[in-house]
Amino acid sequence: MVDEKKAAEAVRLLLEAVGEDPDREGLKDTPGRVARMYTELLAGMDGDATEHLSRTFSSDADGIVLEKDIPFYSLCEHHMLPFYGRIHIAYIPDGKVVGLSKLARTVEVYAKRLQIQEQMTGQIADALMEGFSPQGVMVIAEAEHMCMTMRGIKKPGTRTVTVTCRGLFDGGTELQNRVMQMIKL
């Protein structure tokens, strides 16, 4: 849970530190507003992916299930600036499938926290493996990082892609290629 009172005090201090007057008209509600915003942006810290992923349906499907283009917004833990983009999740069921909205909910749990992209894809893949034991999982994230585009080396349009494979996808080049083909469709 975000301590909104403490966060608001910190924002007020930050405004002072950058040479602003936190009491001027336009800024007087900003500390409280920013504090409430962090409650929303970091809501995943209180989330539990296993809760979402335990709702499964029996199925004899054994082909690849792909949920693609799931949008996400996260904050990099190095600069607290947004990184955002799309996530694709592929899995091969082992007797059960999970509700499609639960995959997006799992993304929210791991995106809405201070994060690094490489770790996020791994956490999502592990949560799925533990949550409903599919035969394999592949998670691909493509994101633009504001800490690379609006500051530092300033390279807008640069996208970072991370991939994590578990189970049958781990070392299963043919399966991985099939997922890549399906993403392009």
Nearer to Zn ion, 5 or 78 (CB): 78
Region binding Zn ion by CB under 5 A among candidate stretches 14-22, 58-66, 69-77, 109-117: 69-77
Query: Is the C-alpha dihedral spanning 44, 49, 53, 54 positive or negative?
Result: negative
Q: Which of 35, 70, 76, 128 binds Zn ion (CB under 5 A)?
A: 76
| Closest residue to Zn ion: CB criterion | 147
What tokens does 157 get? 């349009």
Task: Give the residue among 69, 74, 61 at the shortest CA–CA distance from 103.
Answer: 69
Task: Give the residue among 170, 33, 149 at the shortest CA–CA distance from 85.
Answer: 149
| Per-residue contact flags (x/-) with Zn ion for residues 133 to 162, judged by CB under 5 A | --------------x---------------
Q: At closest approach, how far in Å is the CB of 13 from Zn ion?
A: 22
Could you tell me where the beta strands, DSSP code E, fall in the chain?
56-58, 65-76, 82-92, 96-98, 114-115, 136-145, 160-167
Residue 92 φ then ψ, to 5° = -115, 115
Q: Which of 6, 24, 28, 78 binds Zn ion (CB under 5 A)?
A: 78
Q: Which of 79, 86, 96, 178 binds Zn ion (CB under 5 A)?
A: 79
Q: At closest approach, how far in Å is the CB of 143 from Zn ion?
A: 11
Nearer to Zn ion, 76 or 168 (CB): 76
Region binding Zn ion by CB under 5 A among candidate stretches 14-22, 37-45, 71-79, 105-113: 71-79
Query: Is the C-alpha dihedral spanning 1, 111, 101, 91 positive or negative?
Result: negative
Q: At closest approach, how far in Å is the CB of 152 from Zn ion?
A: 8
60, 62, 63, 69: CA torsion to nearest 10: 80
Count CB neighbours of 40 within 10 A. Answer: 9
Q: At closest approach, how far in Å is the CB of 78 from Zn ion?
A: 4
Q: At closest approach, how far in Å is the CB of 69 from Zn ion?
A: 24
Residue ranges that bind Zn ion, judged by CB under 5 A: 76, 78-79, 147
